[in-house]
C-alpha cells in the first residue's frame, strides 16, 4: 500500500528537510534542488508546491530541464550551447588536462560563460544569460568523454611525504628499537591529534576528458576548531581520550560524557606545549605504569620492560622536562618524520580514518547554506595557498625520526638550550649597551644645549651692560652740551698749534692769544683760512663779538678784544695736520683719501710744469 501524502505544515517541513540532503548540496539554488529531488523521485512534487505556491511554472520548467539533462538556468529558463560551442568547451578542458591543471566546476562554468559572451548582443535575452553553478554536472550527462572524480585535498607537506625516501630510515629505526628493547605488545603506544572539521569535507570534484587523471589539490589552511587527542596500544587497548575545546567553559552536552577514559580541556582548540606536558602526558604516564604493573602481575612482562610511545612531531616545540619525566618512567618517545603520519601512523590509518568517515557522514553538511559559502571561501584560497608556499626552516631542535628519551639526544637538547640562553643574554647585553649609548648621546646633547644657553645669556648680559654704559655716556654728553650752551660768553684761548698756522702778517693783530681789531661796527669776523699742505676744505670760524662797555675807560674806547674760537679740523684734513694736532681726528673716508691723492697728483704736475 503506497504511503499517504502529507499535508499542511508537515508537508512543508518535509520539503525543507529534503532541501538539506547531501545529494543536492551541489546545487546552490533551492529550485534546482527541488527539481532534482522530484525528477529522481526522492521527494513528492506536491510538497514543494505547498512550500512555493506562486512558483508552479518555474518548478515545472526546472523539472523538465533536469529530465532532459539540461541546465536549469536562471528562473527555470536554461541557456543552451550549440554543438560547435560544446566541442570548443570539450577541447578547452582537454588542453587543461594535458597541462595537468585541475579543472573544477567553476572553471567549466567560466569557459561556458566566455562562449556565451562571445555571441554578442542577441534579440533573445535568455540566450545571453550566464550559466548557473550546476552547469558542469549537467554537462557530464551530455558529453560522453567527460567524467568527474572526487579528489581529496591534502596539505602540500603530506603530499610530498608520501613519496619521500626518508620514510625508510624511520621504519628501520623503529625495528632497531624493537630489537634492542624487545617491547611488549601491550606497551607500544601511539597518540595523535585529530582536528574536528564538522562543517564540511575537504574534497571537491574535478573533471577530466578521456583517460586523463585528476591531479591532487592542496588543502587550505586549517581554521579554528576542536581537536580530539587519541592514544592507542598495539594490543587494541586505548588510554584516556582528550577533547580540546576552544571555548572558555565546558558545554552542557559534554558533562555526562566525562569519565576516566574521556576528558575535556577548555581554553584552546589546538594542542600546545603546556596542554601536552602538564595536562595530557601526566595522565598517560600514570596509566602506562598501571598497565605495566597489571601485566607484570599476570607474568606478561618484567620490571625491566620498557614502553614505547610513537607520535607525529609536526615541528612541535616539545618540553625537555616532559622528556626527562618519560625517561625516568622507562618510556621511550620516538617521533615520526613530519607530515608523513597519513601513510605510516597507526592512529591515522585506523581510528582517525574511521572517525573522519563517521563525522563526514553525520555532520558533513549540517550547516546548510553556510557550509556552501564556507566551501566557496576554501576554493578561493587554494590558488592563494599555491602562490604563497614557503619551505620554512626547522625551529630549534629537530625532533623528527628520533628517540627523544635517548641520553645523547637529551644532552644535545640541553646544549642547544644553553646556547640559546647564551645568545639571549648576549642580545640583552647588546640592547643594554645600545640603551646606554643612546642615554649618553642624549646627555651630551643636553649639555651642549646648556652651554649654548649660558653663552647666549652671558652675551645678552654684556649687551645690556654696554647699552647701559652708552646711555650713561649719552646723558653726560647731553649735560655737557647744556652747560656749554649756557656759558656762551666764555672766552676760548687759541692753542699754540693754531697760533703757528696764522699768517705772519697778522701776528701784530694778536696779543696774548687774543685777536685785536678796530671796532667799526662793534662786530668783527674772522676770515682766516687754513693754509695746510693738503689744501683741504676751508673752515669758517665764528667770532664771538663783545660789545663795548659804556663804563670802560677812554683808553680802551677804540679797541675791542674778540676771543678767537679754537679752529676745528676739517673732515678731510691733511694727514700732516692731523699728526701735528693734539685734537682727536676722525679717520678719513675713502672719498677723502681719494681726494687727497688727486690733490697731490695735481701739485706734482704743477711742480713739474714749473
State pLDDT tens for residues 159-205.
Answer: 555 555 555 666 666 677 777 777 887 888 888 887 765 444 455 67
C-alpha grid cell for residue 186? Answer: 601491550
pLDDT, position 168: 60
* Segment among 6-10, 104-108, 319-323, 400-404 with least mean pLDDT: 400-404
State pLDDT tens for residues 249-265.
Answer: 777 767 777 777 788 88
Q: Which of 457-461, 512-516, 523-527, 556-560 has the highest mean pLDDT?
A: 457-461
Q: CA nearest 184: which of 282, 290, 292?
A: 292
Q: CA nearest 148: which of 88, 183, 103?
A: 103
With 50 as the cut, is the pLDDT of residue 291 above it? yes
Answer with the residue of higher pLDDT: 290 or 354: 290
State pLDDT tens for residues 553-582.
Answer: 444 444 444 555 554 554 444 444 444 445
Q: What is the largest CA-CA distance in the chain?
A: 182
* SS3 of residue 488 by DSSP: coil
State pLDDT tens for residues 134-158.
Answer: 788 778 777 778 888 776 666 555 5
Rounded CA-CA distance 260/242 in Å is 10
Rounded CA-CA distance 162/337 in Å is 11
- Alpha helix stretches (DSSP H) within 99-226: 105-117, 135-142, 156-161, 167-181
Rounded CA-CA distance 404/386 in Å is 34
Confidence of residue 526 (pLDDT cuts 50, 70, 90): very low
pLDDT, position 204: 66
Task: Please name every residue paired with 208 in a beta bridge, in sequence order, or none if there are none.
Answer: 147
pLDDT, position 445: 92
- The 8 Å CB, 24+ separation contacts for 578-587 are 580/497, 581/497, 582/495, 582/497
Answer with the residue of higher pLDDT: 379 or 158: 158
Confidence of residue 443 (pLDDT cuts 50, 70, 90): very high
pLDDT averaged over the chain? 70
Rounded CA-CA distance 344/190 in Å is 11
Q: What is the mean pLDDT of residues 462-480?
A: 86
Rounded CA-CA distance 13/7 in Å is 10
Confidence of residue 233 (pLDDT cuts 50, 70, 90): confident
With 60 as the cut, is the pLDDT of residue 38 above it? yes
What is the DSSP annotation of 46-65? HHHHHH-TT-HHHHHHHHHH
Amino acid at each position: 500500500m503506497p504511503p499517504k501524502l502529507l499535508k499542511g505544515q508537515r508537508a512543508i517541513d518535509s520539503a525543507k528537510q529534503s532541501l538539506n540532503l547531501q545529494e543536492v548540496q551541489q546545487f546552490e539554488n533551492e529550485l534546482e534542488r527541488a527539481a532534482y529531488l522530484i525528477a529522481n523521485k526522492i521527494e513528492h512534487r506536491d510538497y514543494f508546491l505547498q512550500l512555493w505556491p506562486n512558483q508552479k511554472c518555474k518548478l515545472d520548467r526546472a523539472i523538465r530541464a533536469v529530465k532532459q539533462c539540461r541546465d536549469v538556468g536562471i528562473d527555470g529558463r536554461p541557456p543552451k550551447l550549440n554543438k560547435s560551442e560544446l566541442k570548443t568547451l570539450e577541447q578547452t578542458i582537454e588542453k587543461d588536462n594535458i597541462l595537468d591543471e585541475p579543472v573544477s566546476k567553476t572553471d567549466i562554468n567560466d569557459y561556458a560563460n566566455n562562449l556565451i559572451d562571445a555571441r554578442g548582443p542577441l534579440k533573445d535575452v535568455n540566450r545571453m544569460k550566464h550559466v548557473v553553478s550546476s552547469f558542469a554536472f549537467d554537462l557530464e550527462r551530455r558529453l560522453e568523454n567527460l567524467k568527474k572524480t572526487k579528489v581529496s585535498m591534502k596539505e602540500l607537506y603530506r603530499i610530498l611525504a608520501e613519496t619521500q625516501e626518508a620514510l625508510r630510515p624511520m621504519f628501520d629505526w623503529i625495528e632497531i628499537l624493537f630489537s634492542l628493547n624487545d617491547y611488549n605488545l601491550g606497551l607500544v603506544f601511539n597518540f595523535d591529534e585529530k582536528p574536528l572539521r564538522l562543517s564540511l569535507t575537504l574534497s571537491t570534484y574535478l573533471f577530466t576528458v578521456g583517460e586523463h587523471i585528476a591531479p591532487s589539490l592542496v588543502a587550505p589552511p586549517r581554521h579554528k576548531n576542536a581537536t580530539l587527542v587519541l592514544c592507542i596500544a598495539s594490543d587494541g587497548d586505548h588510554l584516556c581520550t582528550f577533547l580540546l575545546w576552544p571555548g572558555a567553559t565546558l558545554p552542557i552536552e559534554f558533562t555526562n560524557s566525562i569519565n576516566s577514559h574521556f576528558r575535556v580541556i577548555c581554553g584552546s582548540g589546538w594542542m600546545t606545549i603546556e596542554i601536552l606536558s602538564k595536562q595530557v602526558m601526566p595522565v598517560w604516564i600514570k596509566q602506562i605504569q598501571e598497565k605495566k604493573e597489571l601485566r607484570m602481575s599476570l607474568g606478561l612482562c618484567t620490571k625491566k620492560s620498557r614502553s614505547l610511545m610513537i607520535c607525529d612531531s609536526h615541528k612541535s616545540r616539545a618540553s625537555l622536562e616532559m622528556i626527562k619525566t618519560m625517561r625516568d618512567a622507562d618510556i621511550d618517545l620516538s617521533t615520526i618524520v613530519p607530515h608523513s603520519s597519513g601513510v605510516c601512523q597507526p592512529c591515522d590509518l585506523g581510528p582517525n580514518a574511521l572517525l573522519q568517515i563517521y563525522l563526514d557522514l553525520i555532520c558533513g553538511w549540517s550547516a546548510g547554506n553556510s557550509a556552501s559559502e564556507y566551501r566557496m571561501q576554501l576554493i578561493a584560497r587554494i590558488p592563494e595557498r599555491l602562490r604563497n608556499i614557503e619551505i620554512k626552516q626547522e625551529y630549534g631542535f629537530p625532533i623528527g625520526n628520533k628517540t627523544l628519551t635517548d641520553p645523547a639526544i637529551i644532552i644535545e637538547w640541553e646544549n642547544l638550550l644553553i646556547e640559546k640562553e647564551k645568545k639571549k643574554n648576549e642580545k640583552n647585553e647588546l640592547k643594554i649597551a645600545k640603551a646606554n649609548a643612546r642615554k649618553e648621546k642624549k646627555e651630551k646633547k643636553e649639555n651642549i644645549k646648556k652651554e649654548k644657553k649660558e653663552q647666549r645669556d652671558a652675551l645678552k648680559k654684556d649687551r645690556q651692560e654696554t647699552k647701559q654704559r652708552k646711555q650713561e655716556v649719552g646723558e653726560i654728553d647731553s649735560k655737557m652740551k647744556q652747560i656749554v650752551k649756557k656759558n656762551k660768553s666764555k672766552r676760548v684761548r687759541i692753542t699754540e698749534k693754531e697760533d703757528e698756522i696764522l699768517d705772519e702778517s697778522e701776528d701784530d693783530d694778536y696779543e696774548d692769544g687774543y685777536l685785536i681789531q678796530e671796532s667799526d661796527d662793534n662786530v668783527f669776523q674772522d676770515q682766516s683760512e687754513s693754509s695746510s699742505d693738503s689744501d683741504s676744505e676751508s673752515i669758517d670760524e665764528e667770532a664771538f663779538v663783545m660789545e663795548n662797555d659804556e663804563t670802560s675807560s677812554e683808553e680802551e674806547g677804540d679797541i675791542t678784544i674778540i676771543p678767537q674760537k679754537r679752529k676745528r679740523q676739517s673732515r678731510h684734513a691733511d694727514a700732516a695736520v692731523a699728526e701735528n694736532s693734539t685734537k682727536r681726528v676722525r679717520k678719513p673716508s675713502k672719498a677723502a683719501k681719494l681726494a687727497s691723492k688727486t690733490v697731490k697728483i695735481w701739485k706734482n704736475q704743477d711742480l713739474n710744469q714749473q
